[in-house]
């Protein structure tokens, strides 16, 4: 059919143009002007997840309000579920505020509003950005119960949203130290979402359960933030004579609802 073949020819021509533009974006992605363009695109995409994250939730006392009389069974069930979620959020926030006050007084509390839309990259989106004082490379800490751990670092910042690269992403690398041994190495993410502690001397007497934390050798991360525990001490592949072991992350990076964003030590 003629109309169809002319539409297909037109579509093929437009495809060539669009692919040329996309290839141009790939080649020029490190240039400053493209960074500005990307920030403007982010301004279009960010408001909806940020708005969803700020849905009002009223504070509820631990005892909870009395449920009104005359509610149907389904309504009571929904209210009860909502009450449970609010109480859990209150408890998390109290713990975070406690950590913030005593351990990291200059830290900012940030809500996690989403994840990378490309599921293969381990990153989070938080509802704090440049306008709130968040800077690139700022360390990000998560808290679960009484346990804190390094979640990652800020990789990109927009006016009101920031991206956090998690330590379990293969692109992440942090210098970690085991205080018991005095051994330093590089903690990197793996393709399986685990951690690997690399460049250890073969004679190191590592035990399962040893804690690895940030060493403070780099300008990015303060010392003493837990990274993970050694899980597997069986001989791993060695690289150039060095040894590596697997770690269990101190905090499951996939789970935090809120995080603490620190000011980088160099600032």
Partner 1 sequence: MKRMGFLGVTLMAALTTQMVVPRFIGGWGGPQLLLLMTLWVGWRRGPLTGELAGFLGGLLADACSLAPFGSQTALLTLVGYIAGMERGRLDEQNLIAQVILAVIVSAGYLVGMMLIAQVVRAVHPHQLVDGIWRWGGAAWSQPFWDGAAAPLVFRVLHIWEGWWRLSDPRHAAGYFRRSL
Nearest to 189 by CA among 150, 145, 132, 144: 150
Closest separation in Å from C-beta 217 to partner 1: 25
237 touches partner 1 (CB under 8 A) = no
For residues 68 and 251, give the distance between their C-alpha atoms in angstroms, rounded to a whole number.
40
Q: How far apart are CA 101 and CA 106, in angstroms?
A: 8
Contact string 61-80 vs partner 1 (x = CB under 8 A):
--------------------
Query: Among candidates 203, 197, 233, which has minimal Cα distance to 215?
Result: 197
What's the min distance (Å) between Cβ of 24 and partner 1? 7
CA distance 156 to 116: 12
Nearer to partner 1, 61 or 118 (CB): 118
Q: How far is the CB of 231 from partner 1 (least distance, A)?
A: 17
| CA separation for the pair 112, 246 (Å, rounded) | 27
| 138 belongs to the binding site for partner 1 (CB under 8 A) | no
Site string for partner 1, 154-193 (x = CB under 8 A): -x-------x-x---x-x-------------------xxx
Nearer to partner 1, 41 or 91 (CB): 41
Longest dimension (CA), the chain: 77
Residue reference for tokens 């009571």 = 76
Q: What is the DSSP string of 175-232?
A: EEEETTTTEEEEEEE-TTS-EEEEEE-TT----TT-EEEE-S-SSSS-TT-EEEEEEE
Q: How far is residue 166's CA from residue 189's CA, in Å, rounded to a whole number? A: 8
Residues from 4 through 63 that contact partner 1 (CB under 8 A): 4, 7-8, 10-12, 14-15, 18-19, 21-27, 29, 34, 38, 41-42, 44-46, 48-49, 52-53
Q: How far is the CB of 233 from partner 1 (least distance, A)?
A: 21
Chain positions contacting partner 1, by CB under 8 A: 1, 3-4, 7-8, 10-12, 14-15, 18-19, 21-27, 29, 34, 38, 41-42, 44-46, 48-49, 52-53, 112-123, 125, 155, 163, 165, 169, 171, 191-193, 254-255, 257
């Amino acid at each position: 059919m003629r109309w169809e073949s002319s539409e297909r020819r037109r579509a093929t021509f437009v495809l060539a143009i669009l692919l040329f533009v996309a290839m141009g974006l790939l080649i020029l992605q490190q240039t400053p002007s493209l960074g500005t363009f990307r920030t403007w695109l982010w301004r279009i995409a960010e408001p909806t997840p940020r708005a969803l994250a700020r849905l009002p939730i009223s504070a509820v006392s631990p005892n909870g309000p009395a449920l009104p009389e005359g509610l149907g069974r389904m309504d009571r069930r929904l209210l009860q579920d909502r009450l449970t979620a609010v109480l859990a959020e209150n408890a998390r926030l109290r713990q975070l505020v406690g950590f913030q006050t005593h351990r990291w007084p200059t830290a900012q509390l940030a809500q996690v509003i989403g994840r990378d839309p490309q599921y293969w990259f381990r990153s989070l989106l938080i509802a704090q950005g440049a306008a709130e004082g968040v800077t690139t490379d700022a360390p990000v800490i998560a808290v679960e119960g009484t346990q804190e751990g390094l979640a990652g670092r800020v990789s990109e910042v927009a006016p009101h949203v920031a991206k956090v690269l998690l330590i379990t992403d293969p692109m992440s690398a942090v210098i970690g130290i085991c205080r018991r041994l005095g051994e330093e190495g590089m903690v990197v993410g793996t393709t399986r979402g685990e951690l690997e502690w690399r460049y250890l001397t073969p004679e190191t007497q590592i035990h399962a359960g040893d804690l690895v934390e940030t060493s403070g050798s780099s300008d990015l991360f303060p010392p003493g933030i837990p990274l993970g525990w050694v899980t597997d001490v069986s001989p791993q592949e060695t690289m150039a004579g060095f040894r590596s072991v697997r770690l269990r992350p101190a905090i499951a990076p996939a789970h935090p609802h809120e995080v603490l964003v620190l000011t980088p030590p160099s600032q």
